[in-house]
Amino acid sequence: MNANENTISDFYHAFKNGDAAKMASFYHPEIQFRDPVFGLLKAEEVLKMWQMLFSKNGGTVKIEVSKIKADDFLGTARWVTTYNFKKSNRKVVNIVSAEFLFKDGLIIKHTDSFDMWHWAQQAFGFKGFMLGWTGFFQKKVQEEALRLLHNYK
């Protein structure tokens, strides 16, 4: 493994251990994170997101990572997370493709992509099946996620 592949591997090891502070140590101070649920987050918002997710799930999140690849600037990984979605107490198995951009040996850009409709079906059941593919529903999910993040202390 090269240095950036090790960084990705160590990042997900910290993720598996629910260690948001350790995860943050792999991020550049100007980190930008994006995913379908939260949209674009920057700097301190990113650490706060991980802290919130770990506190709300109480160590019940399972994660498996594979296909870690990186060069001097870009990296990718595939990870699968399994957890109970708190709002509905429904089991979610989410398959995520992650892309990383590195600067000064740290992750400066982290983008997680996944099938939002598939996630919504698992998280919300029939409602997610019927509406999860719509921009309206996805915007409502993002607004709620950001509201929770901004109110998290």
pLDDT digits (tens, 9 = 90+) for 19-43: 999 999 999 999 999 999 999 999 9
Answer yes or no: pTM beyond 0.95: no
- At the top level of CATH, which class does the domain 3-114 belong to? alpha beta
Rounded alpha-carbon distances, angstroms, from residue 81 to 15, 16, 50, 72: 11, 10, 14, 27
* Stretch 117-136: mean pLDDT: 94
Quick: pLDDT tens for 72-111.
999 999 999 999 888 898 999 999 999 999 999 999 999 9
pLDDT of residue 99: 99
Neighbours of 2 (CB within 10 A): 11
Residue 67's pLDDT band, with cuts at 50, 70 and 90, is: very high
Q: How far is CA 68 from the centre of its chain?
A: 16
- Is the model's pLDDT at 58 over the cut of 90? no
Query: What is the tens place of the pLDDT at every residue in 2-13?
Result: 999 999 999 999
pLDDT over 70 at 59, yes or no: no
